[in-house]
Amino acid sequence: MSILIIGAGEIGRAMEKILKEKPDSSAQIFLWDKNQGKVPGQKPLEEIASPADFIFLCIPSFAVEEFLATMKPLLNPEMIIISLSKGIGDSGKTMAEILGDNLSAGFFGLLCGPMLAEEIMLGKKAFAVLAIENEKNYEKAARLFSGTRLQIFQSSDIKGAAIASVLKNIYSVLFGICDGLNAGSNFKGRLLVEILKEMKKIILFFGGQPETAEGLAGLGDFFATATSAYSKNYQSGLEIANLKSKTQNLKPNLTGEGIMSFNNFKKRLGDEINKFPLLKILDKILSDPAKADLFLKELA
């Protein structure tokens, strides 16, 4: 068996570690990154892509669409491509839509759940759903991860998983803002309830199954991302909150999929954003961080 991991960032390295620790595995695992310096001695993509049984996409969401377009000639129809990217492309398309435009149905999936790369590298367990249409291909993936520290569960709701993965990052920014403003656990408890309700509505709006919001791709991944000091989305929220006493026109240097995805998601929704109060509140905060505490009071 041959496995190719695209992207040598934190999650790519974490996936490599998980698979290399699998007992009695004879699989060949290749890591490839556009920055060759990250993978000393890496083989040419043309040599390692076509023979791969599994390809894991561990690259930022904004890069997936362009990468798949250039990679198409190297793919074979039997390989299983699994994306760990959790965001929305510059085109406004979800990962499910981007993969569906470029790959055969049933041969691609989304791996979504609480999988903080830093915890994986420390030897801790991780959990995810694999959203994929083809039952046999799910079983192949389940065998691949059997005996590893990543426990996976099956889901056929690719649309719902893709949206949940976007929203969990976006809502984690709100949790960071709450902590930065010392809103308290009681307030976050109320916010959590509203987040779950709104996540269900948005998933349904995009054609997914609302119950996906209650599982690992939704609530599970959100909790890990919104409460971990490792999370860039949570840290972005803290940074926004720290601007409340500074000048109104000061823009934060924000990182993380949450902020980047929100801007693309906002464009995709257009006027429909007004149907989703929490997204609207975050939009106001990002437009005027100095008044974050005032906008949060709209939830009360």
Give residue-wise pLDDT tens across range 108-153. 999 999 999 999 999 999 999 999 999 999 999 999 999 999 999 9
Q: Residue 234 has what pLDDT?
A: 93
DSSP code of 42?
P
Output the CA–CA distances (angstroms, integers) from residue 288 to 171, 249, 258, in the order listed: 17, 8, 17
Higher model confidence: residue 173 or residue 104?
Answer: 173
Q: What pLDDT, in 10s, does the model give residues 158-179?
A: 999 999 999 999 999 999 999 9
Q: What pLDDT, in 10s, does the model give residues 64-74?
A: 988 998 888 99
Q: Would you say 253 and 190 are in contact if contact means Cβ atoms under 8 Å apart?
A: no
Beta strand pairing status for 126-132 and 108-112? antiparallel
Q: Residue 74 has what pLDDT?
A: 92
Q: What is the mean pLDDT of residues 27-39?
A: 94
Q: What is the mean pLDDT of residues 189-209?
A: 97
Q: Residue 23 has what pLDDT?
A: 84
Which candidate in 168, 232, 244, 266 is catalytic?
A: 168
First to last CA, the chain: 55
Asked whether the predicted pLDDT for residue 254 surpasses 80, the reply is no
Q: What is the mean pLDDT of residues 224-229?
A: 94
- Please tell me whether residue 117 adopts helix, strand or coil conformation: helix
Domains of the chain: 2-156 (3.40.50.720), 159-299 (1.10.1040.10)
Q: Band of the pLDDT at 246, cuts 50, 70, 90?
A: low
Q: How far is Cα 80 from Cα 76, in angstroms, rounded to an integer?
A: 9
297 is catalytic: no
Asked whether the predicted pLDDT for residue 300 surpasses 80, the reply is no
DSSP state string for 25-62:
---EEEEE-SSGGGSTTPPPHHHHSTT-SEEEE-S-HH
Strand segments, DSSP code E, in the chain are 2-6, 28-32, 54-57, 80-83, 108-112, 126-132, 150-155
Q: Residue 245 has what pLDDT?
A: 52
Q: What is the pTM of this model?
A: 0.92
Asked whether the predicted pLDDT for residue 231 surpasses 80, the reply is yes
Backbone angles phi, psi at 81, to 5 degrees: -110, 125
Amino acid at position 152, single letter: I
What's the distance, CA 238 to chain centroid?
20
Q: Residue 143 has what pLDDT?
A: 95
Q: Band of the pLDDT at 259, cuts 50, 70, 90?
A: confident
Asked whether the predicted pLDDT for residue 95 surpasses 50, the reply is yes
